[in-house]
């Protein structure tokens, strides 16, 4: 797996210059893909390998859920697919019949004989993300092995080129083998403890940094002198903001002010403090369905300069911004990917002012860095991963067309109905996928 950083962008205009600041998180790895594979013919027609049935849809167009190619399972219970990704905007969508909660879905992609850097995603019948993978087993191929938490009349597999493909790997052929094992048990949601560490630490995350480094303790004065002496107030408000974001879910929040947690227990740590020249925060991984109960994330609180906002935020406003970023990074540790909606906590391309808004875990279109089709229902996924608190019901989140002026976030949203049709209508994505250092030229 390459050390890809998925980027959340914060844009602000300072003295007439547009600066982009980012929160990054490494890409996810769902499993291990075997080496080898069938070599399809050059320019392989999208469809089922070896199928002679005239009733099966094949070829283009197949770039939306409504145009999906039907996957045919053979006597051994395997659907053997193939296709060609022609360019970065080419999506190949396949559908397969009813999936019950508890069914195990294994998808093996191979690009043997091709330079294609393939990326795949699995969706339920409503177009909501179930799983996604870019690279597996040190290759550019993809692999998914997931147990369905929710039943659906059909599921969709989408194959396309990776958003991070390098020149020469942006097109080519692939094969895919899909196996569904029925009758399994539905994984039971398990509560997660988040430890908020404000005390500073020696942080060692080899998957992100080449060597350990010291993260300074949280000090409000390190953000800007205007906040000096208000550290304790900041901490209280940050904790309240994170707790508010997780109030529906079985997430337990403890802080370093309460003492160090029992090292024999399982908990994920959010380190809050210090400064980074390139990022506001970073998560160790996108931990699919929270397989690791003890992973880490960092929120560089000293990087939240008031210069990034249209006006100097109050203590309460900036604490909400830091708390929202902390909830975003911990969302990755629970298995959530990036989305594209300013009011969604998992958004990856907001103006800085969006982070003082009441962002929530909601359903929103996926970030184009994940897939240019479908949505992620973050609240639904969290209910499946950690569970809901007693007495809480999960209400469907409705997306509406949002038009907001530049002060209030400044992007136009697609309608929920248009999205449900499976098409890309007005889907916004940031134009830059690289980290931009503090104060450096925005053209970098």
Q: Which CATH superfamily is domain 5-22+188-420 in?
A: Collagenase (Catalytic Domain) (3.40.390.10)
HEC string of the chain equals CCCCEEEEEEEEEECCEEEEEEEEEECCCCCCCCCCCCCCCCCCCCEECCCCCCCCCCCCCCCCHHHCEECCECCCCEEEEEEEECCCCCCEEEEECCECCCCEEEEEEECCCCCCCEEEEEECCCCEEEEEECCECCECCCEEEEECCCCECCEEEEEEECCCCCCCCCCEEEEEEEEEECCCCCCCCCCEEEEEECCCEEECCCCCCCCCEEECCCCHHHCCHHHCCCHHHHHHHHHHHHHHHCCCECEEEEEHHHCCCCCCCCCEEEEECCCCCCEEEEECCCCHHHCCCCCEEEECHHHCCHHHCCCCCCHHHHHHHHHHHHHHHHHHHCCCCCECCCCECCECEEEHHHHHCCCECCEEEECCCCCCCCEEEHHHHHHHHCCECCCCCCCCCCCCCCECCHHHCCCECCCHHHHHCCCCCCCCCCCCCCCCCCCCCCCC
Give residue 389's pLDDT.
92
Query: What residue spans in the chain does CATH classification 3.40.390.10 cover?
Result: 5-22+188-420
Domain 47-181 has CATH 2.20.25.10: no
pLDDT on residue 9: 37
Quote the pLDDT of residue 432: 21
CA dist list (Å): 205 to 31, 99, 292, 338, 442: 20, 37, 14, 21, 28
Q: Please, where in the chain does CATH 2.60.120.380 lie?
A: 47-181
Q: Tell me the pTM.
A: 0.83
pLDDT mean values, one per 10 residues, the chain (444 residues): 34 33 40 50 79 69 91 90 92 94 96 92 96 89 96 96 92 95 96 97 80 90 97 98 96 94 92 87 92 94 91 96 96 94 86 86 90 93 95 58 35 34 27 24 22
Q: What pLDDT, on a 0 to 100 scale, did the predictor assign at position 51?
A: 66
CA triple 205-210-214, angle to 5 deg? 60
Phi, psi (deg, nearest 5) at residue 5: -110, 120
Residue 141 to residue 112: CA distance in whole angstroms: 9
């Amino acid at each position: 797996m390459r050390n890809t950083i998925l980027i959340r962008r914060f844009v602000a205009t300072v003295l007439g210059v547009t600066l982009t600041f980012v929160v990054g998180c490494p890409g996810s790895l769902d499993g291990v893909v075997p080496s080898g594979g069938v070599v399809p013919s050059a320019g392989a027609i999208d469809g089922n390998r070896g199928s002679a049935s005239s009733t099966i849809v094949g070829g283009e167009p197949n770039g939306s859920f409504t145009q999906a190619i039907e996957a045919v399972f053979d006597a051994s219970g395997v659907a053997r697919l193939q296709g060609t990704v022609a360019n970065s905007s080419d999506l190949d969508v396949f559908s397969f019949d009813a999936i019950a909660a508890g069914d195990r879905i294994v998808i093996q992609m191979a690009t043997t004989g091709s330079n294609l850097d393939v990326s795949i995603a699995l969706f339920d019948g409503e177009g909501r993300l179930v799983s996604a993978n870019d690279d597996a087993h040190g290759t550019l191929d993809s692999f998914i092995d997931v147990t369905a938490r929710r039943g659906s009349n059909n599921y969709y597999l989408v194959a396309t080129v990776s958003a991070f493909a390098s020149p020469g790997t942006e097109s080519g052929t692939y094969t895919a083998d899909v196996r569904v094992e029925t009758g399994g048990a539905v994984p039971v949601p398990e509560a997660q403890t988040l430890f908020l560490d404000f005390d500073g630490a020696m942080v060692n995350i080899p998957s992100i940094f080449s060597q350990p480094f010291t993260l300074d303790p949280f000090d409000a004065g390190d953000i800007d002198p205007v906040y000096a002496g208000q550290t304790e107030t900041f901490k209280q408000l940050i904790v309240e903001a994170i707790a508010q974001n997780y109030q529906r879910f079985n997430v337990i929040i403890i802080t370093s002010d309460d003492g160090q947690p029992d090292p024999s227990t399982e908990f994920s740590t959010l380190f809050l403090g210090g400064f980074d020249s390139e990022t506001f925060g970073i998560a160790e991984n996108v931990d699919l369905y929270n397989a690791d109960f003890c992973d880490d994330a960092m929120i560089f609180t000293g990087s939240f300069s008031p210069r990034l906002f249209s006006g100097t935020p109050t203590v309460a406003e900036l604490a909400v911004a830091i708390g929202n970023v902390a909830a975003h990074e911990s969302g990755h540790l629970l298995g959530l990917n990036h989305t594209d909606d300013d009011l969604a906590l998992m958004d990856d391309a907001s103006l800085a002012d969006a982070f003082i808004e009441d962002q929530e875990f909601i359903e929103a279109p996926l970030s184009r860095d994940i897939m240019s089709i479908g949505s992620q229902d973050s609240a639904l996924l969290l209910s499946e991963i950690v569970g809901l608190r007693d007495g809480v019901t999960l209400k469907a989140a409705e997306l509406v067309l949002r038009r907001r002026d530049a002060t209030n976030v400044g992007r136009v949203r697609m309608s929920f109905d248009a999205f449900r049709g499976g098409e890309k209508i007005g889907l916004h994505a940031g134009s830059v996928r690289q980290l931009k250092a503090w104060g450096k030229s925005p053209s970098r």
